[in-house]
Chain A
Amino acid sequence: MASVTRSSAVSSSPTNGPVLAIEHLDIGLRKVGGETRRIVVDANFSIAPGEMLALVGESGSGKTMIARAILRLLPPGVAVQGGAIRYAGEDLAHLDAARLRALRGGAIGMVFQEPMVSLNPALRIGVQMTEALRLHRGLRYDAARKHCLDLLERVRIADPVACLDAYPHQFSGGMRQRIMLASTLAMQPRLLIADEPTTALDAIVQKEVMDIMAELTREMGTAVLLVSHDLGMVARYAQQVVVLCRGETMEAGETQRVIADPQHEYTRKLLASLPARGEREPVVPSGAPLVEIRDLDIDFGKPSSSLAFWRKREMFRAVRGANLDLHAGETLAVVGESGSGKTTIGRALVRLVRESGGSIRFEGRDITACTKRDLDAYRLKSQMVFQDPYSSLDPRMRLIDIVTEGLRRVSGLSKQERRARAIAMLAEVGLPDDFAERFPHELSGGQRQRVCIARAIVAGPRFLVADEAVSALDVTVQKQVLALLENLQKKFGFAYLFITHDLGVVEQIADRVAVIYRGRILEIGPRDAIFADARHPYTLRLLQATPRIRRIEGGAGYRLEQHESRAQPPPAGHVYFNHGSITTQPPSAGEPEMLAVGPNHHVACAASVAERIEKSP
């Protein structure tokens, strides 16, 4: 594993003044009653042509507000209070509306976060793409169309002509984001504002889109203002960085310098909060596993119209032939992109979905076919922590009641005992006594997730399914919750099935890792084996797509690390299952088998073509 500091290093072009200069910018929110709350205070930075500057911060840092203030696209009630936004000698903050509209979409382009809602569903892509060209350049539709075709090609859309005549819903999120990019860059803007452009995308697609963006803006000499919460991505792509916290600038400078030698305490805290490989004593699987999942298939009916009243519903298979063991006290991470089936496995484990085939054994007993009494007993031993801390707590219940409810099925406890246990459990997750009588809406996201954890562990389960349990949290809060989970595991000894898309989190807390893609487990092994010696090409692409920031050994600073291990050939006589068809096709036919490539390290292979020919009579 080698490391480079920055993959897309750019020799900064000779500057003849910055494209954009933000000077002493203040932004305020007018509240009911006339008072104003300042949400951005004295922001200062400038971007040179061809340069990418990133605004980094957690939620509430004001980064998006700054980006939106440039084109005056602030939400109602939010307005620039002072300072200047200088673009080409003009102050955008005080420009009249007509002149500002002339700049919008022409010289300054913008790409938004949610690809699913930032294109108009009712209009053909061609209409939307050519709009700005026709408006600002006065091109006729045909000429504008030709220009768009060229750009769609450059963002690597397979069939640009068909694309222009299609509607947005016919494309995946990643494709739509590329179309957005093409449509914005078609104007060859001098400044591109990208507001969390890839946050909603899976890791591999995220990298594709960012690579294209970096490449095209470099060619065009476009300055880029990137807004992101993801330090790893910022370190990989941006030359300059501004670190924001609650509207105030904490630190600004060259990205490489800022992470290698952070000056401000907040920057150091942010960097220290990034998930890092913990020095875990790997739990050696010994004896019978706690949970054994064998040949698990799960099918879902597609949502049917009421017309399909008498017809069988169309099914699709979310999980195919999964085999997993979960040992007492270990953390098994299941990683995969959205729609991979990782969540479905977790939900089957806590009996929220039924399997279509295969078995799940808990302490040797098959819980897919057991008496209600055994199932009740199992329910106490298995628990789940959900992803969204805002919808997983009943809004009408006090915290104490929420946690006490976890003990409802435990017999032989008096009311006082239940209450005492619940309070103790709240304390255990770091919520003092006076939280007991509060309602969920009075809590922050991190606190809510603590309540969810307390509720899950109050009855003393043997294992927890954590479904993206920290994904919705800011990185500093995420760190605290991960630490809490680890401490609780040490203290109570339960096992975690940790479902996530975030390889950083996996690296920090997992003992073993299973990589799942379109319902199939492609690779499974000890954490260190997966991170250092991944075999399956899909695992490798996933690792390469995820930028990771590491502490420099023996120093206070950090550096960007690039995953560089190369794919190993599959075991003799086999091909990697799904090899070559990772993103475009469903798993190829034929049953794969899990071949051992190292101690406890298995990878999905299918018999190679040669072998199949030999075997066939």
Chain B
Amino acid sequence: MLTYAAKRILLAIPTLLIVAIAVFAMLHLIPGDPAQLMLGDIESPEALARLRTELGLDRPLVVQFAVWMGRALHGDLGTSIVQQRPVLEILLGSFAVTASIVVPAVVIATLLAIPLGMLAAWKQNTRVDAGLMTLAIVFLSIPSFWLGLLFLMFFGLKLDLFPVVGYVSPFENFGEGISYLVMPVMSLALIETGVIVRMARASTIEVLRLEYITHARAKGLSETTIALRHALKNTLAPTWTVIGLTLGSLLGGAVVTETVFTIPGIGRLLVDSIFARDYPVVQGALLFITAIYVGVNLLIDLSYPLFDPRVRLS
């Protein structure tokens, strides 16, 4: 188990290093002088020169990378050109907002999707199965930003159930915060449910085909016991991994959902910073989001042995 964990963690290091190189290289791939690009045409030559030194653009690329990387490891991702605040500080604040949408969405989607997926598999090729699968494919074909807009039009404007735009942290004012979160969370969660339900069904069908399920039936166990004791764990193992991977699309989905509901999350921050050419923030956000994504998938991989003892002991 320990060697497995160590291996997986070691494996993430080259990945993160390459990610960092790619994010660093980004700025230098843009045609023209990065400092000029960031400041636009209006600024004075003095400001340009100051930014150059600040960014270390006069030094060789390798040195620049080493310095940048070294600072990043110490949590120093530079300073925002627009807001004139440390990038990390800005990122942490907006990520907390994004997390409060994404995390509930994943949890709701998982809790909905796994039982439904198992049910569909158990009732394979019946009307229940066909109905659930049709719903799933319809939901995963709806873009989250459109679903968000529809929610906004219907629940927000027509029924006036939830506030239409803006964000209040649920940690400051729980009731009000939740009311701001309902629509963005549901628009992400429903689509996510469509994705996970299909995975859960597919992996349950694989499991049901195996002889140990027949063996369990031959022991006289009830279908509920078989589902909970024999199928669930084996179904969860592959589905769990997929949940981690779909987190990527969810983070992408959060960008547009935050735009729909004007929520000050990290996705909106990234888009605004691209428009504003605030490259330290763009780089920081890219690095930060990817690191979170890699980290979560690492955690999921590390929890995999809980479902499959073969990984634990080999």
Contacts and interface: CB of A to CB of B under 8 A. Distances in A.
B127 to A, nearest CB: 15
Interface in A514-564: none
Interface string A291-305: 000000000000001
A147 to B, nearest CB: 15
A167 B309 CA distance: 7
B10 A123 contact: no
A419 interface: no
Given A112-B211, A118-B211, A306-B11, A170 B234 contact: no
A110 B309 contact: no
Nearest to A306: B11
Contact of B234 (A113, A122, A306): A122
Interface in A138-172: 167, 169-170
Contacts of A131: 216, 219, 221
B272 interface: no
Contacts of B218: 71, 73, 104-105, 109-110, 112
B212 A119 contact: yes
B241 interface: no
Given A112-B215, A169-B309, A101 B222 contact: yes
Nearest to A68: B214
Contacts of A123: 229-230, 233
B299 to A, nearest CB: 18
A121 B229 CA distance: 12
Given A73-B217, A102-B220, A122-B233, A117 B210 contact: yes
A73 B309 CA distance: 28
Given A120-B234, A167-B313, A73 B221 contact: no
B59 interface: no
B7 interface: yes
Interface centre among B7, B218, B234, by most chain A C-beta atoms within 10 angstroms, is B218
B33 interface: no
A121 B308 contact: yes
A38 interface: no
A180 to B, nearest CB: 8
A307 B10 contact: yes
A119 B219 CA distance: 12
Interface residues of A, number: 32
Interface in A161-187: 167, 169-170, 180
Contacts of B11: 305-307
Interface in B100-127: 124-125
A305 B211 CA distance: 29
Interface string B303-314: 000011110011
A114 interface: yes
Nearest to A136: B220
Contacts of A114: 211
Contacts of A71: 217-218
B313 A170 contact: yes
A397 interface: no
Contact of A120 (B125, B216, B237, B313): B216
Nearest to B310: A169
Interface centre among A117, A170, A305, by most chain B C-beta atoms within 10 angstroms, is A117
Contacts of A136: 220
Contacts of B217: 71, 73, 104
Given A120-B230, A122-B309, A169-B309, A104 B210 contact: no
B220 A106 contact: yes
A135 interface: yes
Interface string A33-77: 000000000000000000000000000000000000001010010
B229 A119 contact: no
Interface in B171-217: 210-212, 214-217
A214 interface: no
Contact of A117 (B124, B211, B219, B310): B211
A227 B308 CA distance: 32
A136 B220 CA distance: 8
Nearest to A305: B7
A132 interface: yes
A245 interface: no
A305 B7 CA distance: 9
A121 B309 contact: yes
Contacts of A122: 233-234, 237, 307-309
Contacts of B125: 76
A71 B10 CA distance: 50
A424 interface: no
Given A123-B230, A305-B7, A307-B7, A118 B212 contact: yes
Given A71-B218, A131-B221, 7 more contacts: A104-B219, A104-B220, A105-B220, A120-B216, A123-B233, A170-B313, A307-B10
26 contacts: A76-B124, A101-B221, A104-B220, A105-B218, A106-B220, A109-B218, A112-B218, A113-B211, A114-B211, A117-B210, A117-B212, A118-B212, A119-B212, A120-B216, A120-B230, A121-B234, A121-B309, A122-B234, A123-B229, A123-B233, A131-B216, A135-B220, A136-B220, A169-B314, A305-B11, A307-B11
Interface of A: 71, 73, 76, 101-106, 109-110, 112-114, 117-123, 131-132, 135-136, 167, 169-170, 180, 305-307
Interface of B: 7, 10-11, 124-125, 210-212, 214-222, 229-230, 233-234, 237, 307-310, 313-314
